[in-house]
Amino acid sequence: MSTSAAAARADSERFAALLARAERMRVRGLAFDELRDLAALYRQHAARLAAARDRDADPELIRALNGLCVRAHAVLFAGSAQRDQRPWPLALRDALGQTWRAQVAAWTLLFAGMLIGGGLAWRDPNAVHALVPAAMGYSGDALDRLVASPAARQRFLAAQEMPVGHKAVFGSFLFSNNTRVGLLALATGMLAAVPTVILQLYNGMLLGAFSSIFLHDPWPIAFLAWILPHGIPELTAICLCAAAGLQLGAAVAAPGRHGRAAALRAAVPPAMVLFAAAVPLFVVAALIESFVRQSSWGPWPRLGVAALCLLGTAGVLLLSRRAAPPRAADTTWLGDVVRSPGLIGPGRGGSPGSGSAPPR
């Protein structure tokens, strides 16, 4: 056996061994040197396969080379595409687990706004007029009555029934309005997340200022029963949308070494999953606000609904964070390595002009 034939046989054995390890352990289980050699050997054997076909070499050799190249292409390229096509529950779990920092930031901004707005309105009741817009349905006179009169606050929170048709119309209005707010928080994330941050702070300031009116009462249980049942799913949905916007903003402002386009391509799928998860929460919040809040239920049944919402949302978010698998190793560089014309020199048997298209 000639020296070149022995070297080719050794390369093929090394290639087959690396493929077996990659198929058993996945690509991220290989060491860096093994990944580099796997990419180099794939290019070398693809060139050998093309040359063997051109000269009508031994059919057994062509079949062997073709089998190795097909397996390598599946490991290096097809595997990453398959990992992106996760079922919806797994995609949601992964998105929630991978974006937990953005979710913490969104909740932090909301609570910071609540403290600012609540503190301003607590010290100066007139600040309520600046922080609570009339578009929410509260005129200046109505806000003044709520601030000045405990009786007016009691009448405002009193349980009362509405016709079912009115509840349905009211719920659809709430859903469309809340979804618009969430979509705005997501879309403005493309502007380096600056508008998303401002919007999330303002949402918190509005909520804090309005809540401060009722927290002056010595026992504000009626207000908590009024706001918490629909507020928990609604605020969770808004924070998910804001977290999605922050993810996009981070990709724009700090894209990393792969560039802004690659960072956005990686950030868009989990951001879309977060927004898709927020939509059902907006539906639940609208149903609760229109059918539970606008009902004759007392404070304690309403607080029971709030407790169920809190346990459900917190459980899903925390469990998804714990259950999410670690991020896969970044192997996108392998495509560049495989396609690099200077990777294989003449001594390795490669061809500078050969490509990395999958064999047929």
Q: Which residue has the higher pLDDT, 81 or 206?
A: 206
At residue 207, the pLDDT reads: 94
Residue 119 tokens, joined: 């503190």
CA separation, residue 123 to residues 109, 114, 131, 286, 303 (Å) = 21, 14, 14, 32, 29
| pLDDT tens track for 250-275 | 999 988 877 888 889 889 999 999 99
Residues in the chain: 360
Q: Which residue has the higher pLDDT, 355 or 320?
A: 320
What do you get for the CA distance between the two ends of the chain, in Å? 29
Q: Number of C-alpha atoms within 13 angstroms, CB side, residue 251? A: 23
| pLDDT tens track for 103-132 | 999 999 999 999 999 999 999 988 888 888
Q: What is the arithmetic mean of pLDDT over 10-26? A: 83
At residue 89, the pLDDT reads: 60
Q: Which residue has the higher pLDDT, 84 or 6?
A: 6
Q: Is the pLDDT of residue 353 over 80?
A: no
Domain ranges for the chain: 3-85+330-348, 88-323
Residue 79 tokens, joined: 């595997």
**Contact criterion met (CB below 8 Å) for 244 and 150:** no
Q: What percentage of the chain has pLDDT greater than the value 90?
A: 34
Alpha-carbon distance 307 to 311, whole Å?
Answer: 6
Largest CA distance in the chain: 102
| pLDDT tens track for 135-184 | 666 777 888 888 888 888 888 888 677 777 777 887 888 888 899 999 99
The total of other beta-carbon atoms located within 10 Å of residue 311's CB is 11
Mean pLDDT, rounded, of the chain = 81
**Contact criterion met (CB below 8 Å) for 306 and 232:** yes
Can you tell me which residue has the tokens 């529950």?
Answer: 89
The total of other beta-carbon atoms located within 10 Å of residue 176's CB is 12
Q: CB pairs under 8 A, 24+ apart, for 270-273?
A: 270/94, 270/95, 270/98, 270/99, 270/244, 271/99, 271/186, 271/189, 271/244, 271/245, 271/247, 272/244, 273/91, 273/92, 273/95
